[in-house]
Each structure stands twice: as structure tokens, then as C-alpha cells.
Structure 1
Amino acid sequence: MKLLYESTISGNPDPARVDENYVDTHKTYEESMMLVKAQSFEQAYAIAEKKAKREELDYRNPYDQKVEWRLVRALDCFALFDEELKSGTELYSRNLRVPKEVPGEDVIRHYYPETVEDSEIDPYFVLRLKEYNLLKPEED
């Protein structure tokens, strides 16, 4: 099952914590894959959406702002054809239909922009920063 989550950040950053990595120009979405055992696509969607809702989370970021991750939608479901999960088992695939004259680089730029170096992509955007892990949240 492919799920889409959205991150919303609220509140003003603590000026004492703002550093060179602080950016307030982008919004983050997470595309997540979840393995679901079900008897039908309908049941798979119901199971995945229920579990995904339980996985939503809230926390304070390094700049003392509230971060909320919420499920936007279950996007797609893919049936596994292998009976057992092992190395090489295909977990997901999708077909992209594009006009014949569209070159592969344009497909990559459109569907997978995070893989293309571009001035539009923030070079300071990191999902896991070593310094972030060293910060200790202030007690409320």
C-alpha cells in the first residue's frame, strides 16, 4: 500500500535555536509503503488507512515549533504475487503513461524531482541531521 503523509509546522521558531539549516520555504510530504495482508483491495485500503491514522504523530522540531504528520490519503495498492517475501521480491510498481516524444530525463524531473540537482531544491533540506539528534528538547 502506498500512503501519503503531510507535515505541517506551526508556531514561530525560537530565535536562539535558528541556525544555518533553518528554512521556512518548503512543505514536506512523505510517501510511505506499507505491507498489508488482506483478502481484497478494499480490505487492504481499510486496514492500511486505520493503521496509518494510528501512526500520525506530533512533536517539537529543533526550533521549538510544533510539527504534525497527518495521513493525506492511501494512494495505491499493489498485490504481491510471490508467496514468500525474500530478496528480490517486487513490493511495488506502477506504470507511467507519457507521450512518446517525452524523454526519460523529463519523466524523472517530473515524477522524481528529488533525484535531480536543481536550484529549486533546497540544498539544506535534510531528513536526519546529526546535530538534530544531539539537541535535547526543553521541558514543558
Structure 2
Amino acid sequence: MKFNKGKCRIFHLRKNNPMHQYRLGVDLLGSSSAEKDLGVLLDNKLSMSQQCALMAKKANGILGYIQKSMVSRSREVILPFYSALVRPHLELCVQFWAPEFKKDRELLERVQRRAMRVMRGLEHLVYEER
């Protein structure tokens, strides 16, 4: 079986890795500092901060689409869309890996606070840190 050399990369882990060059046949394989496998983005420090930022960005974008397309801001209208479209992106981050950094948790919570501000009647529940 032939390998697609364009899709083959070396993923070096750890800080003190000597970062050797590897070959597939006569061609050198490129290295990568972050790789996505099974929908999860990992970097060479095994940190999931990039994954968290990516999911928060997707969830914010979807929440923006919901906010622009819905005329009503009532909880009965927005909540089903939030639960079906936005919440799964946030839960993917939390259930797969407990966010290890405070900044990652705050990023996910910021999306949830924004959703609360969008829904009429729930604005008073939003706690803003200053």
C-alpha cells in the first residue's frame, strides 16, 4: 500500500525532544506543532487551549446567527436553538477534557453569558466580572 506523503507529518511531543528528521522513501517528512485527530486539536505540549478557542469561536458564531435571524428574544424561542446548536460545541470541550486553565473556562463561560444576554427575561442572571 502506498502512503500519501503529503498527508504524513511528524508530531514532536515534549519540550526536550531532539526533533529528528524522518524520511518516507527518499522524501523528508514535514513536522507539525499541532494536529487534529478525531475532531480534537492537540498541540505539542498536549494542551487543549486551541481546541477550546476554536469551539468557543464556533459557538459564538452560531449564537450570532441565531441572534440576527430571530425577531423574538423570548426564552421559549431562543433556548431550543441554543440547546440544539450552540451547547453541543461547549459540551464537547468540557466533557472530553476538563478545561485545565482558568482562561479556557472563562472563554466558555463568556459564550454562555452572551447567550443569557440574548434571551429576554434572563439578562438579570448575567454576572459581569470587572
Instruction: Mark yes or no: TM-score above 0.5.
Output: no
Structure of greater relative contact order (alpha carbons < 8 Å, 6+ residues apart): 1
Q: From the two aligned structures, give the one with the greater helix fraction.
A: 2
Q: What TM-score, normalized by structure 2, do the two folds share?
A: 0.26
Q: From the two aligned structures, give the one with the greater strand fraction.
A: 1
Q: What TM-score, normalized by structure 1, do the two folds share?
A: 0.25
Larger radius of gyration: 2
